[in-house]
Amino acid sequence: MAKVPAAVVAAGGLVGGYGVARWTRKRQLGGVVLAAAGVAAAQQWKQQAGGRAAGALTVTYVAAFAGSHPLAKKVGAWPAVFGVAGAVALASWAVSDRRG
């Protein structure tokens, strides 16, 4: 069975977390999705690129989540979420996934 790239897991966590929060109207449930994907991606990052890279990518993931909020006020919620998810996916691929 093929492993899902960490870039897809991380981007999916950001998009999925927002989607779950929006459609269920339960922000905490979206947070669970966001956190679970973040933990799964961080484990892959650590295996593929080491602890320092995993730490930096985890900070990037959390910063993207936080940054999507003010960005959403300028461009809209979904464009902001897709934008930060794409940025995290690109960072993940560049630092970790292309090595695997």
pLDDT at position 3? 87
30 pLDDT band, cuts 50/70/90, is very high
pLDDT tens by residue, 39-58:
999 999 999 999 999 999 99
pTM (predicted TM-score): 0.93
At residue 91, does pLDDT exceed 80?
yes
Q: Which two tokens stand for residue 8?
A: 């897809």
Check if the beta carbon of residue 6 is closer than 8 Å to that of residue 41. Answer: yes
Q: Which two tokens stand for residue 29?
A: 């449930």
Residue linked to tokens 């003010």: 70
100 pLDDT band, cuts 50/70/90, is low
Q: How far apart are CA 58 and CA 92, in angstroms?
A: 10
82 pLDDT band, cuts 50/70/90, is very high
Averaged pLDDT of the chain: 95
At residue 2, does pLDDT exceed 60?
no
